[in-house]
Amino acid sequence: MRRFVTLIGSVAAAAALAGVPATAHAAEGYIVLNGQRTDNPSGCYNAPYWPLTVENQTDQPVTVHNAPNCQGVIVAVVPSGASATEEFGVSVSVP
């Protein structure tokens, strides 16, 4: 009986934790899109003009998409600390 109570308690605790959403936070650092700097970015950013240049000085990789609003195909991933010029880049997603 003791094992059953322990098991039920563990299952209940796991279920309670599963319902708690993870805390969302911006990437630490900054990105520069075509000369425009954004500190602690999070979400989607449309390129101000073509071609898209990305300088990623955050702690996360960013993805470059070939359509506005981070739609379409991912055409590149720019790692933390790297820069890229993407001829077909239109928007950038930062986790």
- State pLDDT tens for residues 4-46: 433 344 334 444 434 434 445 679 999 999 999 999 999 999 9
In the chain, what percentage of residues exceed pLDDT 70?
A: 74
Residue type, 54: V
Residue 68 sits at φ, ψ, to 5 deg, of -65, 160
Is the pTM higher than 0.75? The answer reads no
- Quick one: 92 exposed, middle or buried, by C-beta within 10 A (0-12, 13-18, 19+)? buried
- Amino acid 26: pLDDT: 78
pLDDT value, residue 6: 36
